[in-house]
Chain A
Amino acid sequence: MSPRAQSRGLTRKMENENLYQYILGIADNSLILGQRLGELCGHGPSLETDIALTNISLDLFGQVRSYYQYASKVAGNDRDEDTIAMKRPEREYVNVLLVEQPNTDFGYVMARQFLFDVYHFMFLTELQNSKDMTLAAIAKKSIKEVSYHLRFSSDWIKRLGDGTEESHKRIQNAINDLWTYTDELFHQTDADKKMIADGIGVDTSKFKEQYYKQISNVLDEATLEVPDLKYFQKGGKQGIHTEHMGYILAELQYMQRAYPNMEW
């Protein structure tokens, strides 16, 4: 191979690596949030919420499959969707810290969902315009589901905020505790920046203000306070997670680790 062809090959490999990382950056959020919601199945406060949360988990895993199947194609090696989902070491998962936070109570579950849904909806709205046709198509399909998630979680924030004294206190606590993880949603990795420059990725900085505005509107209607916090947590996008993550992966990866290289 000529040096030039070799360098062309290398460039393509780099581009693919950026795209691959970019897809994981989107999909891992849905994977880990879906996994958290999956823990709740059969334990919801009412049959209706139980079914709805399971449904959201199901939607998220459906989206995850589309993303990883595409990532597998981009990687062009023997990594299939399950290898990508279940066989990476913890440091290679790039989901934000918000989605790995535990199901402390229904308030935390809804606050986590709401803080993510507002972002997710805005993100997918933009991703529909991606130059990458596959990502645009996944976004188009997913946004219908996510608009339902957003309505569901926003409604519950209002119900809990403007419900009883106890529910008001609980949801305010949850929002306060999880607020510290919101800023990370807008951090951009090197792969993100490269993909934005190529017209494939979404420039999240464009809707950051809008994100906080929509959230404060809902919190306002729910008679809740917008936390006044200056310090935020980060690390998930670099694969540095909270201590919860290992346990999530222990369950997620259990079968693939205990019985490697088998078909199910």
Chain B
Amino acid sequence: MSEAQIKSLEEEFEARIARDEKIEPKDWMPEKYRKTHIRQMSQHAHSEIVGMLPEGNWITRAPSLRRKVALLAKVQDEGGHGLYLYSATETLGITRDEMFEQLHSGKAKYSSIFNYPAITWADMGAIGWLVDGAAIINQVALCGTSFGPYARAMVRICKEESFHQRQGYEITLKLAQGTPEQKAMAQDALDRWWWPSLMMFGPKDDESPNTVQSMKWKLKRKTNDELRQQFVDQTVPQAESIGLTIPDPDLKWNEEKQGYDFGEIDWDEFWQVVKGHGPCNKERMKARVSAWENGQWVRDAAMAYAEKQQLRKEKQAV
């Protein structure tokens, strides 16, 4: 293909996106578009399955049968989201095994939030309320993204995520209304999860290298800082209404901007965790890698069995 031809294809491609048309897997797309989507979508899928670990850790210890069932269902949903997102990413010409390989080697990232430990039952509340809350804000914006399979996955996932968020808030609410011990547990969880949740929206706008291109492709509809502000404005009243305190002495209402001003994120901590040195980075990866390695013989067996069955079928046909 000549350069002029490619240029014309690119122009037509950008025009389609500008007209809000969806790009489908078999459509022509610039290589950079494909790569960016593989990166972001697989990162999203990895986040879902690594995200199963901190909550999965509490399934055997849930305080009541009702909570145990709800938690199991939630973690199962996350596995389902992972499966759905891996499949959507595969339409771009990469296999799930290749994506796992990238995750296990550290080449692919996942959301840093899951590198923090879930150490009390109240963390199940905080994760649902804050982490899923922050995720929804990111994901609602993605329901209108330009790549069809990703946009459709997001619509479905958002519905379940908003259910998870309500569930998490309800766990926290119950604790906040409980004994002094339970209330302290809820406050402690908010104290630990608040700042990492704010970090989920990524670096500040002026340090976010991918924003301009991502805006054009509708992989982003709002900037990191805008989304972060939306999260703070939405969450502060929720904390207040159940008598919990946001751990930020600089937090105050700004009448002029009709939003909250808030303190500075500890960016050193942010980069430390992103670079692989958070409290649980190594444990999370170890858990994923050992699940994968210990499962090799099982996947091999399934493959061998399927091949044998196929052979038998062919023999019968002859």
Contacts and interface: CB of A to CB of B under 8 A. Distances in A.
A165 B7 CA distance: 55
A58 B73 contact: yes
29 contacts: A39-B59, A41-B52, A41-B76, A42-B49, A42-B79, A42-B291, A43-B56, A43-B287, A44-B291, A45-B298, A46-B298, A50-B291, A51-B79, A51-B80, A54-B76, A55-B76, A68-B65, A86-B64, A158-B305, A159-B301, A160-B298, A163-B300, A163-B302, A167-B304, A252-B60, A262-B63, A262-B181, A264-B67, A264-B121
B155 interface: no
Interface in A208-264: 251-252, 254-256, 259, 262-264
B265 to A, nearest CB: 29
B152 to A, nearest CB: 19
A54 B66 contact: no
A125 to B, nearest CB: 25
A264 B63 contact: yes
A106 to B, nearest CB: 5
Nearest to B297: A166
B291 A43 contact: yes
B287 A264 contact: no
A39 B57 CA distance: 8
B295 A44 contact: yes
B60 A264 contact: no
A159 B300 contact: no
B69 A61 contact: yes
A38 interface: yes
Interface in A139-188: 158-160, 162-164, 166-167, 170
A158 to B, nearest CB: 7
A47 interface: yes
A259 B308 contact: no
A106 B72 contact: no
Contacts of A18: none
B53 interface: yes
Given A42-B75, A42-B291, A51-B76, A166 B300 contact: yes
B295 A61 contact: no
B83 interface: yes
B298 A106 contact: yes
Main secondary structure of the interface of B (DSSP, over half): helix
Looking at B60, B73, B295, the one whose CB has the most chain A CB atoms below 10 A away is B60
Nearest to B79: A51
A38 B73 CA distance: 11
Contacts of A47: 49, 79, 82-83, 86
Contacts of A130: none
B61 A255 contact: yes
A2 B137 CA distance: 70
Nearest to B69: A61
B68 A38 contact: yes
A86 B62 CA distance: 10
Given A42-B52, A47-B86, A61-B68, A54 B79 contact: yes
A238 to B, nearest CB: 25
B241 interface: no
B174 interface: yes
Main secondary structure of the interface of A (DSSP, over half): helix
A172 to B, nearest CB: 12
A246 to B, nearest CB: 14
Given A58-B69, A61-B68, A45 B299 contact: yes
Contacts of A35: 60
A81 interface: yes
Contacts of A115: none
A262 B69 contact: no
B41 to A, nearest CB: 15
B254 interface: no
A57 interface: yes
A167 B68 contact: no
A124 interface: no
Contact of A264 (B49, B174, B181, B296): B174
B179 interface: yes
Contacts of A48: 83
A198 interface: no
Contact of B297 (A39, A55, A85, A170): A170
B294 interface: yes
A55 B300 CA distance: 23
B178 interface: yes
